[in-house]
Structure 1
Amino acid sequence: MAEPVEVNRAAVLGELPHGFLGRRGGISTGVVSGLNVGLGTGDELAAVAENRHRAVEAVQPGARLATVYQVHSPLCVTVAESWPDAERPHADALVTDRPGLLLGVVTADCAPVLLADPVAGVIGAAHAGWKGAVGGVTDATIAAMEALGAKRGRIVAAIGPCIAQASYEVDAGFRARFIAEMSDNGQFFGPGQPGHFQFDLAGYVAHRLKTAGIGAVEPLGLDTYPDAERFYSFRRATHCNEPDYGRQISLIGLP
């Protein structure tokens, strides 16, 4: 029997079609074995397409998937209809108010963020790596949702599987960039090896969301790095000298 697709859900998003997926339930083999949805991997395109289909069917059967060409930016696009993979806009977040569209972001340690104002019927999805997070990708997503009629105080957000502080060692120069942005960003860096620190990406993203004034934030607390059976991880693949790494997808839609 085929392994089912694992769908991690957030209480704050209620009954909206959504899910933070991992590597379970796919057909890819080798170092990217499982539900690899990364179009930029060396995986067979037919396998990636089938994995994406399985992901959609596990979250909102029959929905039309919309993803972007992610570039670690604060750019957000408003989606009225899905597009062919070859025509994906360069951005790191999407918003829509159209039922039947399933917004997706792919990650392999970066933080996936799913957002919704259920009253207005407006949703968003953001890929928040450290560059996008400090650059304001979640702020741009909230602003784009407001342009569609969402109210900031009603927006709720969930942060899915990403690399956790215990697994994310960074150097002093990395920390200095955040401190230069805002002095109290030092709270997201714990002690590490000499000259290094442990960065709390999920904590930083949650702080940005809360500071923006949205209604509620739910971090799922799932660490991608140590759990090779459930999640892909760029940093783990790098430390293991693997030639490639898979990507997992996080999805949200309107019924």
Structure 2
Amino acid sequence: MNVEIVRATSLGALPHGFFGRRGGVSAGEVAGLNIGYGSNDDRAAIAENRRRAVDALLPGAKLVTVHQVHSADVVFASAAWPQDERPHADAMVTDRPGLLLGILTADCAPVLLADEEAGIIGAAHAGWRGALGGVTDATVEAMVRLGADRNAIAAAVGPCIAKASYEVDEAFRDRFLASDELNERFFTRGENSKAHFDLASYVVHRLRAAGVNTVEALQLDTYAAENRFYSFRRATHRGEADYGRQVSMIALPA
């Protein structure tokens, strides 16, 4: 099976893509294109999956990742870090061609950003904590400091857990309402009266509030699409011992 890449219209011809689990060599509960060294998967399989993903998008490029910690911290990437020296952060920006900024997810929202004319790109990991804490705001500001035009930035929100699959408790909802009572619009009630959260729409809202005019949400549910994507929540609900991670990447052509 070939590696599947989902692309965003908003990011044009820039090398970018949202990957799922199709086209990899991992087996068992993490079968497919598992990119995450945080899983218990065979390290050789993960390395091969990473090679396949990079080659499918921009052969010869260097994959740059961070140690994601659900923060709003952003770092500038000038080169790929060794795996054991990755900075703790949840977003990256760069103006260096040939670097693939890679975000790993398994329900959280991957966000890829670009000001193509300025030659500046960014990538962010927006779980609910990071999104509420302002990781996308911080990424936009980091791009602007690097020379991007806020009004020229385009952003795409990739596959993540959808509202129908994202049941949350009242304490979760209260955190968002305490930040802004208008956040009520990102919650609905399910058939059991439990709150459901629309992560993708919230991330889109934060991007637009940060001044990004072109924002695209792919509206792909990682939880529901078992054959296409990894999902931490789905694995947890099933009592599985492990779960895979997919990667979303963007680069400036060399």
SS of the residue corresponding to residue 217 of structure 1 reads strand
**1:30 aligns to what?**
28
**1:8 aligns to what?**
6
Once the two structures are superposed, residues 111-131 of structure 1 have per-residue CA deviations (whole angstroms, 9 ceiling, x without a partner) of: 000000001000000000000
Which of 145, 148, 162 in structure 2 is aligned with 1:147? 145
CA distance in 1, matches of 2:86, 2:130: 18
Is the contact between residue 24 and residue 34 of structure 1 (CA under 8 Å) also seen in structure 2? Answer: yes
CA distance in 2, matches of 1:109, 1:240: 15
Residue 192 of structure 1 deviates from its aligned partner by 2.2
Once the two structures are superposed, residues 180-232 of structure 1 have per-residue CA deviations (whole angstroms, 9 ceiling, x without a partner) of: 00110000000125562010000000000011111200000100001111000
CA distance in 2, matches of 1:194, 1:159: 29
CA distance in 2, matches of 1:169, 1:193: 11
SS of the residue corresponding to residue 49 of structure 1 reads helix
Which of 121, 127, 130 in structure 2 is aligned with 1:129? 127
RMSD: 0.8
**2:252 aligns to what?**
254
**1:186 aligns to what?**
184
TM-score, L = length of structure 1: 0.98
SS of the residue corresponding to residue 116 of structure 1 reads strand
Q: Which amino acid aligns with 1:18?
A: H
Residue 148 of structure 1 deviates from its aligned partner by 1.0
CA distance in 2, matches of 1:132, 1:192: 25
Is the contact between residue 97 and residue 121 of structure 1 (CA under 8 Å) also seen in structure 2? Answer: yes
SS of the residue corresponding to residue 221 of structure 2 reads coil
**2:17 aligns to what?**
19
Is the contact between residue 95 and residue 125 of structure 1 (CA under 8 Å) also seen in structure 2? Answer: yes
**1:89 aligns to what?**
87
CA distance in 1, matches of 2:222, 2:132: 20
Is the contact between residue 172 and residue 195 of structure 1 (CA under 8 Å) also seen in structure 2? Answer: no
Which of 227, 243, 246 in structure 2 is aligned with 1:245? 243
In the alignment of these two chains, the number of paired residues is 253
Unpaired runs of 5+ in structure 2? none
Question: How does 1:1-255 map onto structure 2 within 5 Å?
Answer: 3-194=1-192, 196-255=194-253
Q: Which amino acid aligns with 1:81?
A: A
Unpaired runs of 5+ in structure 1? none
Indicate the larger mover: 192-201 or 68-77.
Answer: 192-201
Once the two structures are superposed, residues 4-30 of structure 1 have per-residue CA deviations (whole angstroms, 9 ceiling, x without a partner) of: 100000000000000000000000000
CA distance in 2, matches of 1:200, 1:184: 13
The 4+ residue runs of structure 1 with deviation greater than 3 A are none
Once the two structures are superposed, residues 10-65 of structure 1 have per-residue CA deviations (whole angstroms, 9 ceiling, x without a partner) of: 00000000000000000000000000000100001111111111111111111011
